[in-house]
Amino acid sequence: MKVLAINGSNGFLGRQICKYFENKYHIIRINRNDYLLPPALLANIISSADIVINLAGARIPLVSTKRYRRIMYESRISTTSNLVNAIEILYKKSIIFISMSAVGIYDYANIHDENSENFGTDFLSRLCIDWELAGRSELLPDSVTIRSGIVLSREGGFFKRIKLPFSLGMGVIIGNGTQPLPFIHLQDFLRAIDFVIDRHLTGIINFVAPTFCSNLGFSRTLSHELKRPLLFRFPSFLIKIFMGEQSSMFLEGQNVKPKKLMDNGFMFMFPDIERALTNLLNTDHS
């Protein structure tokens, strides 16, 4: 049985990845104390790994201080660099290194596939750029960078937080509602990781559903599925007042296409927001 080491295994996505692959791989969970070790010691922990998945990073809140932004930055760049240094010590060219990033790297003005170099200039874009640079090494030819949209799941994350207010009839449209909302259903996210490993895909890979979804489309669909009214609109100027630079996460959005997955024959189970939300609200299915 091959060995998969995962950095960030205690987080929402980390737990789901461990559960999904537990019968396929022997799993090494790299914990917080491990990835703070010197690279030589961390290399001993992952020496048997065939695949390393890097998810570590402090949660991105709605509003952040300069101090917490530094925490978000260091928790991604420093831990990723340390992990790459540990893998380089092992000098295992056959190892598959998969590191997370986000579609937040892209700007808001263009349509993006994996060939796009139109990056944003705000904090989150710069964070993603440096995060990706930290995960690159000439000694890792089989590395993968996942640029993920919002992962929708009952188990945690964005959908779990937003479901309650919508269930109470307090769902909102943010700004004018036309901004893209790039998403992927958790099951498609996990299946895509499996697909990438099995097909030996490398490089940048966008993990987003293939069908465009706007904030308005998401809000209307969720309200319809919950059979609740959609009565409120959150004005753009209030978002800017309360969130500052991070308001762009909600008032803007990246229009992203999963070209590499589609070109290689990946079949999405939930290619549009209607099917994704119907599944998430149906407790009889996972």
Q: What are the domain boundaries of the chain?
A: 3-152+183-209+255-269
- pLDDT for 166 equals 92
pLDDT band per the 50, 70, 90 thresholds, residue 249:
low
User: For residue 55, is pLDDT > 50?
Assistant: yes
Residues contacting 92, CB < 8 A, separation 6+: none
Q: DSSP H helical segments within 152-263, as ranges?
A: 157-167, 186-199, 215-226, 236-243, 248-251, 259-263
% of the chain exceeding 70 in pLDDT: 92
Calculate mean pLDDT across residues 68-74. Answer: 85
Q: Give the angle 202-204-208 at the CA atoms, nearest 5°.
A: 115
- pLDDT for 243 equals 60
pLDDT band per the 50, 70, 90 thresholds, residue 62:
low
Q: How many CB atoms lie within 10 A of CB 140?
A: 20
Q: What is the pLDDT of residues 275-284, one digit of tens each?
A: 999 999 985 4
Upper half-sphere CA count for residue 86 (Cβ side, 13 Å): 28
- pLDDT for 223 equals 95
Distance CA 53, CA 129 (A): 18
Residues contacting 161, CB < 8 A, separation 6+: none
Work out whether the CA dihedral 163, 164, 170, 176 comes out positive or negative: negative
What does 18-34 look like in DSSP terms, one character per residue?
HHHHTTTSEEEEE-TTG
Q: Long-range CB contacts (< 8 A, 24+ apart) of 192-195?
A: 192/261, 192/266, 193/17, 193/20, 193/53, 193/98, 193/146, 194/20, 194/21, 194/24, 195/261, 195/264, 195/266
Residues contacting 181, CB < 8 A, separation 6+: 149, 150, 213, 214, 215, 217, 218, 253, 273
Contact criterion met (CB below 8 Å) for 159 and 153: yes
Q: What is the pLDDT of residues 126-166, one digit of tens each?
A: 999 999 999 998 888 879 999 999 999 998 888 988 899 99
At 201, list the tokens: 């895909």
Q: What is the pLDDT of residues 204-239, one digit of tens each?
A: 999 999 999 999 999 999 999 999 998 888 777 666
- pLDDT for 94 equals 80
- The CATH class for the domain spanning 3-152+183-209+255-269 reads alpha beta
Question: What is the pairing mode between strands 183-185 and 150-152?
Answer: parallel
At 260, list the tokens: 């590499």
Calculate mean pLDDT across residues 73-97. Answer: 89
What proportions of the chain, in percent to the nearest 5, are helix, strand and coil?
A: 45, 20, 40
- pLDDT for 161 equals 86
DSSP 262: H
SS (H, E, C) 198-228: HHCCCEEEEECCCCCCEHHHHHHHHHHHHCC
